[in-house]
Amino acid sequence: MTRETSIDELTKQLDESLDLDGKHTSQEATAAVDLGAAADEDSVSDDLSDGESTYSVPSAVGSLSSEDSSDDGIGRVEATGPAPPLTVHRPSLPVGVTSIFANTASTIDSIAEMIKTGSAKSIIVMAGAGISTDAGIPDFRSPGTGLYANLQKYRLPYPEAIFTIDYFRRKPKPFFVLAKELYPGQFVPTISHFFVKLLAKRGLLHRHYTQNIDCLERVAGVESDLIVEAHGSFHAAHCIGSKCRKEFPQDWVREKIFNDSIPHCDKCNSLVKPDITFFGEGLPTRFFDLLEGDFASCDLLIVMGTSLQVHPFAALINEVQSTTPRLLINRERVGESKTRGMGFDFDGSFAGSMPHRDALVLGDCDEACLLLADRLGWTDELLGLRAAFIDKRKLEHI
C-alpha cells in the first residue's frame, strides 16, 4: 500500500474485509464524508488558517461511527454528536521552540518514520471507550436508547450507581442486566484493536493500558501479559465476600448472567462479581505494579479514544520521559497543559528549552489507525488480521 493509495481503494478493501452481514459498510457510516479525496499529501488542505490538515478518510466500521463519544471511566460510551473529519493538527510553534518531529506539517508522517526506523520500538498505547465505539457496543446515556434508559424500571438514583460497589451489594440486579448487554463474545474488535494487535505482532507493543471492560483487545489476540485493564474486565470474577474472595471462571459467570440468574458464591453465598473496578474499589494491583517501569522505558506513547478525565489513568500521560513523543487520537482535544509538564502541549506553549513532542489527530480512532497504517505500509496486514478473525468467526457459526 503506497502513499498514493486512494481513499476509495482503502474503503473498498476495508468493506470487503469487514462486512459480516452487509450492514457495516464504511460508506453507510460516513455518508457526509467526501470519499473522492486521496489519502496522500495532495489531499491535505494547505489553505487552512487554523494550522490543521484534514484527511478524507472513511470511517472504518460500525453502527455508531457517525457519533462522537467519550468515556466516563469504566469504558462506557456516550454519543454526543457527529464525528469530525479526520484532522492532523499542524502546530504553530513559538519562536525559538524546536520540535522532536522532523516534519511538523505532518506529525503523523514523522511518527510513522520513527516506527519504521526503529527509534520507536517500545510503544505504550492508552485507550478509552472511543476505540470500541465502532464495535457497536451500546452507549450508556443516549436518551431513549441508551442502556441507562433501558434500566429506568430499576429506579437508579443516578447513572453511575450501577457501577458503585455499595449499591451493587444492595441491588445487584441492574448491573447483571447491563452485563448481559455488554458481555464479551457478542462484539467484533475494531480496526483500533487490531492495530494494537499488529503492534504486538511486530514486537513493538510494550504494553496496552485500557480503561475499557469489554476485553476486545484479548478477543483481537493481544496476549494477556501485554494488557493492563486499569478498570478491570469481565475476564475473571470473584466472590465479593471479604473473607472468601473465591475465584470463578468466566464461563460459569456468563452462564448465570445469560440465564438471568444472579451469581452467588457456592462457598459463602456472597455475590460473585466480574473483576470490573467499581466506584469505591481500588484499581487492580497490576496497574500499580507495572506503570513505573513501563512508562520509564516507553519511547512512543499513543493515546486513543479517551476523555482523560478519570484519575489516576489520566495522569499516566505525564509518566513518560520528557523527550518521549506522544500522540493523541481522539474526537476532541483533551488532557491539555495548563502548566509546564502537566498534560499535552500540542502547540509548544510550555516547551521552553525542551523540544515540542505532542502530536494530535482529531477524528475517529479507526480512521486514524487506518491512516497511520497506510503511512507505515501496513494497511494490507492490518486489514488481513481483521479479515482472518472474521473468517474464523464465520466458520465457528456454520
Nearest to 148 by CA among 250, 211, 72, 254: 72
How far is it, in rounded angstroms, from Cα 80 to Cα 69? 6
Q: Coil, helix or strand for 68?
A: strand
How many other C-beta atoms lie within 10 A of the C-beta of residue 95? Answer: 4
Rounded alpha-carbon distances, angstroms, from residue 237 to 215, 277, 279, 356: 13, 11, 17, 44
How many other C-beta atoms lie within 10 A of the C-beta of residue 297? Answer: 14
Amino acid at 219: V
What kind and span of H or E run contains 89? strand 86-89
| DSSP secondary structure, 153-219, as one string | GG--SSGGGGGBHHHHHH--HHHHHHHHHH-TTSS---HHHHHHHHHHHTT-EEEEEE---S-HHHH
Catalytic residue among 24, 89, 208, 231: 231
Burial class for 336, CB neighbours closer than 10 Å (0-12, 13-18, 19+): middle
Cβ pair 26, 61 in contact under 8 A: yes
Opening angle at CA 307, ends 305 and 310, nearest 5 = 125
How far is it, in rounded angstroms, from Cα 128 to Cα 171? 27
Read off φ and ψ for residue 125, nearest 5 degrees: -110, 130
38 beta partners:
6
What kind and span of H or E run contains 7? helix 7-18
How far is it, in rounded angstroms, from Cα 81 to Cα 79? 6
Catalytic status, residue 231: yes
| Residues assigned a catalytic role | 231
